[in-house]
Amino acid sequence: MTAGHRAPRRVGVVGAGMNGLACAWFLQQAGVDVTVVERTDVAAGASWGNAGLLTPALSVPLPEPSVLRYGVRALADPRSPVSVPVRADRDLARFLTRFVAHCTGGRWRRGMAAYRPLNEQALEAFDELARGGVAAPTRVAPFTAACRTEREAEHFAAEIGRVVGAGQAVDVELLTASELRDQLPMLAPSMRMGVRVLGQRAIDPPAYVAALADSVRACGGKIVTGVDVAGVRRDGGKISLATRDGQYAEQFDAAVLASGAWLPELGAAHGVRTPVHGGRGYSFTVDAEHPIPEPVDFPGLRLACAPYRGGVRVTGIMEFQRPDAAADERKFATIRESAAAALTTVDWSSARDHWVGARPVTSDGLPLIGATATPGLHVTGGHGMWGMTLGPLSGKLLAELIVTGRTPRELLPLDPCR
Ligand SMILES: Cc1cc2nc3c(=O)[nH]c(=O)nc-3n(C[C@H](O)[C@H](O)[C@H](O)COP(=O)(O)OP(=O)(O)OC[C@H]3O[C@@H](n4cnc5c(N)ncnc54)[C@H](O)[C@@H]3O)c2cc1C
């Protein structure tokens, strides 16, 4: 404990997604009384319809030179899986300008140095949740990148090579066409080689987040839904969270903003200046005569598929759009078209659970975890494509900071006020 620091007794957490609930859970382990306030319901944001891959081997800063090359090409193609609105508003323009500035090899390597210690501990944080009573399993699940051409496979292998070059151990196998066919016979014949990443895991995202919420409640925490927090104020040494109509107003010793892609709405007034934008993804679930037994990524098609409740959850698209904008129904067709070129034996007419959700993407590709400029107010979020993988560890490290007053060294580069 830092001299002069008093551990808070009551902490309010805004947002019942993976990040808010994980932080609440780890705070409870340290004896803190937590209340999670959520405007909709548990897992109402990005934590519901995602692919559920726990893949620290792939958790890397999003801005890098090849994203820039791909992005510029993709923006010219209306059916591309990457899109921005025709007229970018001021926030999006600011976000994209900063994002582009971070697409350099040097910045990527600096960002990766921050990811590496997180990736190395990410899965252990899930084990800790399991030991502490979170009743949903994580499945050991190798992750296969299925590629149509040597070039696609080389590109994916080069991405992994950069992670290894940053000092992170990653265990991969290269699969020839026949090995790929043996292991995943339901892939389309156009998939000619594979790169298999071992030692990864997967979850059923809605079930996992619901189990985490159950565990928070079972340990005495409150989860209050239907509360849209509009104001966060520090008053007489307390942090108050309140709705616009005043129907909900509570004071806490400390608070955590874990409001996903909506973070800027509450964080900007408290010194969180790094732009965060919704990078929206789409997903749906289909039945298949032979569902995939493990997660498969199709890097050339910008799709990831995962086994889900007896079927296949198909996910894709990176659409820079406001988190609450209506779903663009054409995106489902874009994904379906790509997926039809990747998977056989699928009954496309069974498509259900159509979903759009906003990844909280930061302009520098690093999460935001730590204290804000307002004493007692903290943030965990901005994990972009990897908030399920990194949520539990982020919550654990932030809980340590809140309780002891000491910033764990893993969080130093992730300062929300950087
Ligand atoms: C298609 C897709 C696939 C993905 N696949 C993976 C994957 O395989 N592996 C992986 O690790 N990650 C994946 N991700 C990313 C991951 O889903 C996100 O990074 C993660 O869910 C973010 O969690 P969060 O708790 O920060 O935010 P969210 O889950 O969005 O939670 C934020 C919550 O805050 C609430 N909220 C917001 N504002 C307020 C307010 N003012 N008052 C009260 N409540 C508020 C929202 O309602 C919401 O419930 C994927 C994302 C998408 C879109």
Residue 283 backbone phi and psi in degrees, to 5: -150, 160
Residue 403 backbone phi and psi in degrees, to 5: -80, -40
Say if residue 215's pLDDT is above 70: yes
> Region 340-356: what's the mean pLDDT?
97
pLDDT tens, position by position, 294-324: 999 999 999 999 999 999 999 999 999 999 9
> Chain-centre distance of CA 257, in angstroms?
15
pLDDT tens, position by position, 391-413: 999 999 999 999 999 999 999 99
Distance 164 CA to ligand 1 centre (A): 28
Whether 376 contacts 234, CB under 8 Å = yes
Distance 260 CA to ligand 1 centre (A): 5
Closest residue CA from atom 53 of ligand 1? 281
Say if residue 75's pLDDT is above 90: no
In the block, tokens 């659970």 appear at 353
Lining ligand 1 with CB less than 6 A are 14-20, 37-40, 44-47, 50-53, 227-229, 258-262, 266, 281, 283, 315, 357, 359-360, 381, 383, 385-389, 391
Sketch out the chain's domains with CATH numbers: 10-414 (3.50.50.60)
- pLDDT for 77 equals 62
- pLDDT for 4 equals 85
Neighbours of 5 (CB within 10 A): 12
Say if residue 229's pLDDT is above 80: yes
Closest residue CA from atom 2 of ligand 1? 50
Whether 71 contacts 96, CB under 8 Å = no
Burial of 110 (0-12, 13-18, 19+ CB in 10 A): middle
| Strand (E) or helix (H) holding 75 | helix 65-75
| Strand (E) or helix (H) holding 204 | none
pLDDT tens, position by position, 94-126: 999 999 999 999 999 999 999 999 999 999 999
